[in-house]
Amino acid sequence: MMTAKTTWLVTGASAGIGQSISIAALNAGYKVVGATRDVAKAQVANPGFAAKGGIWLQLDPAHPDSSSHFAKAQEEYDIDVLVNNAGYAFIGGVEDTSEEEVQDQLSANFWGPLRAVRAILPSMRAKGRGHIVLISSGAVYMSRPGRGAYTASKTAIEAVHECLSQEVEDLGIKVLIVQPGSFRTSWTAHCKTPAAHESTGGFSEGYKGTVVEQWVGMAQNIKTGPLPDVFKGDPDKAAREVVKAVVEGHDYLHLLLGPDCVRAAEQKLGALRHDLEATREIAMSTDGDLPGSSNLNTSGVGL
């Protein structure tokens, strides 16, 4: 049960949906610790946070040493709700993206949240309660050109949380995966593109005139110009729904936010249904003939 003493830790709390969730939780009467890479900048960007009683914590989840910092934060503040929000999007073609850039994307979007979960989970287990919230992305339903590294990072960390939800459901710990669509935040300004091709717009010569140029170019334009009208989401409305789900309880694992995310999920489900039906006969024919076996595995144990 939530009380006024319930403590939230929100990573990436200085901007975007993380900022909105922090303020929404404070407005609901909870204690909020906001993790940010630069406290001085965060104080300027989100002045209402401290004014409402929020506590800033300098912490970069992507840093290899962040596990110890999360553990220290847990000892000091006794976290009840962990919101893994910090991250960024890397937009670039698969061929044009360096291994280092992929590693950096995974450090922020995969290893950072995983470090936070592993550091804070022991205390939640000991208390027999807690909430783990992952701010993922509706991009998991849209494998668009130029989003290979970003979509891979979000899909991978979602898979971890899906498994985690089953591991901790009998321990009093709830997991929620939030999948926002296109929201009007500063998130787009922090997108990164292949450094090796910065002088040519973020893509190599071989991809000029292709969908890679189209999608990377779109990301470049969004970084430097006003948000297009396709970004309709209100981050404050989204934040209130996240807080409401945690406080009042939820019987779902994935919280989709935004009509565009709903459409993308429906298209993905339709595509999967098509492939399932198209290959069902093949799939059902590939078991070996084992003596005394019905050859019907319904448990999923082998997956």
> Known catalytic residues?
136, 150, 154
Q: Which residues contact 32 (CB under 8 A, 6 or more apart)?
A: 7, 8, 9, 10, 13, 22, 25, 26, 49, 53, 54, 55
86 close to 35: Cβ distance less than 8 angstroms: yes
CB 49 within 8 A of CB 73: no
Full strand arrangement of the beta sheet holding 254-257: 55-58, 31-36, 7-11, 81-84, 130-135, 173-180, 254-257
How far apart CA 117 and CA 105 sit, in angstroms, is 18
| AA identity, residue 294 | S
**Residues 6 or more apart in contact with residue 281 via CB below 8 angstroms:** none
Burial environment of residue 115 by CB neighbours within 10 A (0 to 12, 13 to 18, 19 or more): buried
- The answer to whether the Cα torsion of 147, 148, 151, 153 is positive or negative is negative
CB 59 within 8 A of CB 73: yes
Q: Are 254 and 177 in contact (CB under 8 A)?
A: yes
Name which of 152, 141, 153, 7 is nearest 83 in CA terms: 7
What number of other Cβ atoms are within 10 A of residue 277's Cβ? 9
